[in-house]
Amino acid sequence: MTDTLSEAVFQILLALSDQARHGLGIAGEVELRTRGRVTLGAGTLYTALRRMRDDGWIEEIQAPVGEDDPRRRFYKLAATGRRVLSEEALRLETLVSDARGKAVLPSKRPA
């Protein structure tokens, strides 16, 4: 198990879980998905991307066909990053389950 992830790192990995994106695309997807609760500043985003790339969690890839801005760097989730994301999601799910068991949160309603 990896160390606990910051919310920024978790959200970045989650943004890359379904498709490759460039930095601003990641930030936009996170802000949209979290309804503005999480906004990633440039310093936070690019520092995290560099660290995750160096750790092998994400990979920098060639820009998709039709992408005309050479300054954009595209990233995709690597197998190690997917494992880290899954482990963290499971850890969070376990914590929520513990809270439900102690009636801190209401029990889940059947779907």
Q: Which domains does the chain have, with CATH numbers?
A: 7-101 (1.10.10.10)
The reported pTM is: 0.90
Burial degree of 17 (CB within 10 A; 0-12, 13-18, 19+): middle
Strands of the sheet with 74-77, listed across from one edge = 21-22, 74-77, 58-61
How much is the pLDDT for 67? Answer: 80
Please check the confidence at residue 1 and state whether its pLDDT lies above 60: no
Q: Rounded to an integer, what distance in angstroms lies between the CA atom of residue 53 and that of residue 85?
A: 14
7-51 residue pLDDT tens: 999 999 999 999 999 999 999 999 999 999 999 999 999 999 999
Ramachandran area for residue 78 (φ above 0: left; ψ -120 to 50: alpha; else beta): beta
**What are the strands, taking DSSP E only, across the chain?**
21-22, 58-61, 74-77
Number of C-beta neighbours around residue 54 at 10 A: 9
